[in-house]
Amino acid sequence: MLNIGRTAWLLCLVSCVHGADRVAVEQHSGGVAHYTVTIFDNLGGARVRACFNGVIFAQLVPINASAASRLRGAWIDGLPLEIRDGRILLNEQRPPECVDYETQFERSRFGLGDSSAVVLSQSQWLWRPEPFPNQVSTSVRFAVPDDGRVSLSWPQSNGVYHPNRNVFFDETFGVFGAFNWQAFSVANARVEVARLGATPLEGDVRRWLTRAVEATASVGGRFPRDRLQFVIVSVDDPGAEVAFGMVRRGGGSSILLLPSVGVEVAQLEADWVAIHELSHLWLPRLYAEDRWLSEGIATYLQEVLRARCGLQSSDRAWRRIREGFERGRRSGSGRALADESRNMNRTGAYQRVYWAGTAFALETDLRLRRRSNGESTLLTVLNDAQRNWAEETRLVGASRVLAALEQSSGAEFIAALGERYAASSDFPDTTYVDSSEYDDLRAQISAPLDGGCTVSGESSR
């Protein structure tokens, strides 16, 4: 999620190997794809050798259209191949075992990091076989100049990375070069952190992110992913503790966070951005028109979880929610919420989308608690429903999420309520929130947890 006040300029961002993980590598009975990526000495591009076994394809294509212009050439055994609109076309009747190609990296215009490391998406060097096989085991090995490091969200063993198939369709954050690196475990998730520039100290970063992961895991006593990568880059923005955050899922779960230079660890712990981005991992990737649901639930959780975990007071959480509703009511272009979601990067209607979605999350939570005498909540239902899409790598529609929430709760109102929100061109009526009949439920929602939000490895997955 963006820190909404800084949306316009930060939207352009959407434009040596450490020890082995002890993780199981997913195996397929289908084909095998292996990529060897040699990063150039100036960190400005890469030479890639893509080798395949049991994969039938006619061309190699970029992950997204914006990467097409970065391709500088492709060869088989030194003989050039035809390139058309960033696609590498094969000249032979059957696919070769290996194809070589070169790409040039697009450096961040905001100076993420410094000259000793780069932060970039795998879309700048990874081309996928087309047609794409139903099953493929993928591995990637890197050569980085000057014994530099690699940081990615993918599982790896002995210097070879093994991303899931989503790596060919959705972007992630990769860091290459010389940078500060740390790793630790929290809530039974393995956390890797790449820090670039004048970031907070290692101990402060660990304390900040540990609290954020534990708060997010408190939804169900477990964190919804078994591994997680953070990329931390400090920026000069005195107006915010954390100026920007974004989650990506290409082959694994990766989160970029931009804290302000000189921010104190207590300020980082109290900030909402990290918990918002982590909360997205309770949900699958949704279509553009359904982002009101994912952003709304994440925004709701960022406030409720911080109150429950002692990172802000209950009064402050409700004040922020009320203020958010007022901003959302003043925002928007008069479209139905689904259309507003689809077009918000163009219209700037972020406040309407995020806070109307938050109103849905709050209304759902209140109605679940009221009908079950507090036994069923949005948090308990989300924890149970998440298993329906835990392994999903494709985009998902809101209808599937709403149906899963309804099935997990036994409450038959959720799907219809979501459909009504998505179709409405008006901001929802939230005046009921301050009614005295909801006093007990409001207190219940934001009450601090007994014993805090520490989640042990034994109690999570």
pLDDT in tens, the chain (461 residues): 445 444 433 433 333 333 344 444 444 457 999 999 999 999 999 999 999 999 989 999 999 988 999 999 999 999 999 999 999 998 766 667 899 999 999 876 545 556 789 999 999 999 999 999 989 999 999 999 988 999 999 999 999 999 999 999 999 999 999 999 999 999 999 999 999 988 899 999 999 999 999 999 999 999 999 999 999 999 888 889 999 999 999 999 999 999 999 999 999 999 999 999 999 999 999 999 999 999 999 999 999 999 999 999 999 999 999 999 999 999 999 999 999 999 999 999 999 999 999 999 999 999 999 999 999 999 999 999 999 999 888 899 999 999 999 999 999 999 999 999 999 999 999 999 899 999 999 999 999 998 778 876 533 32
Which tokens is 343 given? 């077009």
For residue 315, what are the CA distances in angstroms to 231, 267, 278, 282, 321? 32, 18, 23, 26, 10
Apex 164 CA angle, 161 and 170, nearest 5: 105
Which residues, 6+ apart, have CB-to-CB distance to 80 below 8 Å?
73, 74
How many CB atoms within 10 Å of residue 29? 7
| Segment holding 47, helix H or strand E | strand 45-53
Residue 282 one-letter amino acid? W
User: CA-CA distance, 170 to 248, in Å (whole number)?
Assistant: 7
For Cα atoms 405, 410, 416, give the angle at the middle one, nearest 5 degrees.
60
Taking the model in full, what pTM does it have?
Answer: 0.91
Strands annotated E in 133-188: 136-143, 149-151, 156-157, 160-161, 174-177, 180-186
What is the C-alpha to C-alpha distance for residues 161 and 150, in angstroms, rounded to an integer?
Answer: 10
Give the pairing type, strands 117-120 and 160-161: unpaired
